[in-house]
Amino acid sequence: MLRGLLETPSPEALLAFLKEYLRAGDTLVQVAGECEVYYHGRAASVADAGDFLVLVKHDGSLQVQGATGIKPINWQPVSDHVQLDLEDGRAVLVSERFNPAEVVRIVFLEPALALALTLREVGGFVLMGSEAEMQRARASAPQLIEKGLTLLDVELPTEVGGIDLYARDRDGRLVVVELKRGKATQEAVHQLMRYVERVRELVGEGVRGILAAPDISKPALERLQELALEFREVRALPIEAAAEQQPPLFDG
């Protein structure tokens, strides 16, 4: 995970560090220290010299974080061009976005720490929003779980709990769907099986069970297959629902 580390680097050392790791294409770079930050684009802003944490990800996105709050004082969702220079004895990073035209310019006055990390992208993925929001989104677009799926009920109450989605497939079979925001475990499989067994007690055999989640543990998948239940990878909500859940980073 750790690729590189510099403490109180000189401007020349910091510049070389940034060039090496930002061009690697797979590295998250952080620089903490006293900086000046300039922005020009849809608005204009200048941050007085202060202590900031600068984060640049390998996809070109950039954040400048202050001492408090979750919102960066400045950011770029993606950088189309990053320029690194030495100006007046200071390392300078310029992040430019072409559409819309925006530029963030960072002058590193007294860098205290430079850190380069490689992060695995797949671990711990969790869908944005609550399970209730996920349920509403999937209810509005059941075909994203399986083509031909027709929704019959949502949060259908039973003696063993509420079934997230109760549906019918293209062949007319009843389908019980259990939704999870994060990685599904054996407990989720057990929960789904209880619902499927209860529905089978009421309507007879031929009831399918689907566990829908971003990921599933190996033991849970093995148990699911033993029970003749199914897994569907769900890693995104419908665009309309996602837009409703995720407000813009800045107001206005």
Contact 232, 142 (CB under 8 A): no
Q: Phi-psi region for residue 28, left (φ > 0), alpha (ψ -120 to 50) or beta? A: beta
* Tens digit of each residue's pLDDT, the chain (252 residues): 899 999 999 999 999 999 999 988 889 999 999 999 998 876 666 667 899 999 998 878 899 999 988 888 888 887 888 999 999 999 999 999 888 888 999 999 999 999 999 876 544 444 444 555 555 555 666 777 888 999 898 888 888 888 989 999 999 999 999 988 888 899 999 999 999 999 999 998 889 999 998 889 999 999 999 999 999 988 755 444 444 444 443 343
Residue recorded with tokens 């309309």: 240
Question: Closest Cα to residue 127, out of 179, 177, 201?
Answer: 179
SS3 assignment, position 15: helix
Contact 60, 152 (CB under 8 A): no
SS3 assignment, position 8: coil
SS3 assignment, position 6: strand
Ordered alpha helix ranges (H), the chain:
11-22, 131-140, 186-203, 218-226, 239-245
